[in-house]
Structure 1
Amino acid sequence: MSCRPVENVPIPLSYPRELHQGLWGGEAVIKGYQHRGRNASLIPHWWVPSLHRTVLYSEVLDRWMELVVTQRAVQLVHDHHGLDMYLLKVGRYAVVLKTRACDIVSLLGLRIKREILLALARGSLWPDDPKRREELLKKYSEFIVPEEQVEWYGLTVGEAIKKLRVEQAAAGPPPPLKHQYRAELIEKLKFLRDNPETVSAPESDSWLSKMNPFASRTVEKT
């Protein structure tokens, strides 16, 4: 039996802008080469996922949405028993793991997931049906996180920078540190004035003074 090295190179994927306008279920465009004949040379070829329009329902948002999807995305939604669970969880056999943003690979999917998380955090889902709202809050209780964290989820870098600048402008400029240091110095001087019996001697930075066991660092005032 002869052994030979086998290349294990990851398949290069290309993510076009259209990917962020739908749910592709992790699929992407693949660029490669193929043989068109027995003696023909390799010819560049693009493999593009098959896309179609369908309607998906979010029970948290109580909304039907027309989306461009792949067959794999539809299968993942069915495997997770709904669009909400697909966006909030990941994997066909590891449903206890939450979906990371990089696993959705779609700005539209992140927008929908952010809206779902905000509705759960605020408790604003199904405003006209309190019973249904309590059922869904109990069902998705493991995904409820503080609202201040959800507000940053699913934003692009530009949107996050813009949001940060707006919050900083609303909070006002931070106070200069010199005011804090001056207040601390005043408090320290007041303490020394009110407690004159103990005065700390200035410490020397010399390493010889630190090794001297007879050096006194605190003197009592008489």
Structure 2
Amino acid sequence: MNKLQLEKLLEKCWPKHWPYEPLFRRLPKHYLLRKFESEIRKPIPVHWKPDVNLYKIDKYGVRKPVNNQPIISFSPPAADKGLWGGEEVIKGYKTNRYIRIPYVWVPTISQRIYCSEILQKHLLIQCTQRTEDLIDKFFGFDHYILQTHEIDLKSRLGVSLKRSMLIKLITKQITEDKNLNEKIYQTYQHYLKINDINSVEEAEWFGLTLEEAYEKQISLEKQNPKNLPNPFKNIYKREILEKILNIQDSKEKYIASN
């Protein structure tokens, strides 16, 4: 994908940030592509089952289109502090005889302790029953985090854990025991290819929000001010000053010669 195609995709994805903020344009290309892919990716349905068929035949033999309308739900701030397995809070109505009463369905949350083999520590996490089922399905906590897309995790905690695991894997600095370090790396190294991580930089930028990416880019530019782009106004100012100085030098030479 060339630069022009990337710009067109990003303009559709983030019209508010593009191209009015120069800092947004200076973000790494791999981060922007991954962020765009996350924006257009559809999460796995959790609270409803989409119908595979496009049409259905009613009792009168008339073909009617199937309306795959997802249930409206939202993630509260508490979901970012735990692992809810993609579950969210649902707003709706309950029918009490002939009256519709507003109702809110909230997942059942419980605290569980999980051991991360890559991070080498135990974690006390708020999770749901679906999270526990998914961890059993993927045969381990680390496998669940690394194999699940960040859109399906729906948790800042889960994305942060995934980023830390990928950094440990790409740097091969999991534990001080060399034999155990190599054993763990051989077990989970294929997740680097699954998540398309080819360098330490890509792992460090993995899953960052735009606000976090801005802060990281600003800190990197402060460390290396020479890499900052030079504004056109400074370039034009320097050119005008050089022209003025050249004109003054030529006048002084002309006066001195006469």
* Structures share fold, TM-score greater than 0.5: yes
Q: Distance in 2 between matches of 1:44 and 1:22?
A: 27
Which of 167, 174, 192 is the matching residue for 1:125?
174
Partner of 1:158: 211
Q: Structure 1 residues 139 and 161 mapped into 2: Cα distance closer, same or farther (>3 Å)?
A: same
Partner of 1:94: none
Q: Structure 1 residues 176 and 68 mapped into 2: Cα distance closer, same or farther (>3 Å)?
A: closer
Which of 165, 169, 182 is the matching residue for 1:134?
182
Q: Indicate whether 1:80 and 2:135 are aligned.
A: no
Q: Distance in 1 between matches of 2:162 and 2:69?
A: 33
Q: Distance in 2 between matches of 1:176 and 1:23?
A: 45
Letter in 2 for 1:22: G
Q: Distance in 1 between matches of 2:93 and 2:158?
A: 31
Partner of 2:85: 25
Q: Structure 1 residues 45 and 147 mapped into 2: Cα distance closer, same or farther (>3 Å)?
A: same
Q: Distance in 1 between matches of 2:129 and 2:72?
A: 21
Q: Indicate whether 1:11 and 2:98 are aligned.
A: no
Which is further off, 12-21 or 135-144?
135-144
Q: Distance in 2 between matches of 1:9 and 1:174?
A: 47
TM-score by length of 2: 0.60
TM-score by length of 1: 0.70
TM superposition outliers: structure 1 runs of 4+ over 6 Å:
none
Q: Distance in 1 between matches of 2:139 and 2:208?
A: 26
SS at match of 2:175: coil
Letter in 2 for 1:12: I
Larger radius of gyration: 1
Which is further off, 168-177 or 67-76?
168-177
RMSD (Å), alpha carbons: 2.1
Q: Which structure carries more helix by proportion?
A: 2
Letter in 1 for 2:121: R
Q: Distance in 1 between matches of 2:170 and 2:132?
A: 27
CA positional deviation for 1:143: 2.4
Letter in 2 for 1:74: E
Uncovered stretches (5+) of structure 1, i.e. residues with no partner? 90-98, 183-222
CA positional deviation for 1:34: 1.6
Q: Indicate whether 1:35 and 2:83 are aligned.
A: no
SS at match of 1:143: helix
CA positional deviation for 1:14: 1.2
Uncovered stretches (5+) of structure 2, i.e. residues with no partner? 1-58, 240-258
Partner of 1:104: 153
Partner of 2:36: none
How many residue pairs get aligned? The number is 168
Letter in 1 for 2:82: G
CA positional deviation for 1:115: 0.8
Q: Distance in 2 between matches of 1:29 and 1:174?
A: 45
CA positional deviation for 1:104: 0.7
